[in-house]
Every structure is written in structure tokens, then in C-alpha cells.
Structure 1
């Protein structure tokens, strides 16, 4: 589901700075999730190879 608020405020009421923060927060979260996924794949690969 699409997030339509940032820190409890509708996006339409957010300042430009708040919108930039919201995008940066989202990008950090995606980066963190991607890193976690890569680590899970690495561990699964090690288990598969019997390391």
C-alpha cells in the first residue's frame, strides 16, 4: 500500500524539506532491505554449498 503521510502529516501538507526527508528515509529503508536480502542469499548459498 502506498504511504500517503509522513510523520503523521498528509504529504500534501508537507514542506519541500519534509518531502525530501521522506524520500531519503524511503531510500535508506530500501537500501537496508536490499542489504538484508543480499545477506540472506549469501547465507543460503553457503548452506547449499555445505560450507
Structure 2
């Protein structure tokens, strides 16, 4: 759901990042990975604005 907040390429990166994280870390660590991803993408969004 959070991925929908991002537009264009950033949204695509979020989806890919999340899928990779799920595959590597497993569902047990999904929550922490999402938090890191959101902070990372928030930073990118501000950089490109």
C-alpha cells in the first residue's frame, strides 16, 4: 500500500526493492525492511524534487 504513495520510477523501485527484500530476508523481517525502504525512498524523493 505504501508503494502507491510514490509515482513513476520511484514507485517501481519501491516494488522491486520490497520484492527483493522479501526473497532475501523472509517474511519475518518484512516490517523492518519496509521501514528502511520508506526512509530511503523519502530521501530520494527530496533529492530529485
Higher RCO (CA 8 Å, separation ≥ 6 residues): 2
- Greater fraction helix: 2
Which TM class, normalised by the smaller chain length?
Answer: 0.3 to 0.5
Structure possessing the higher radius of gyration over alpha carbons: 1
- Greater fraction strand: 1
TM superposition score normalised by structure 1: 0.45
TM superposition score normalised by structure 2: 0.46
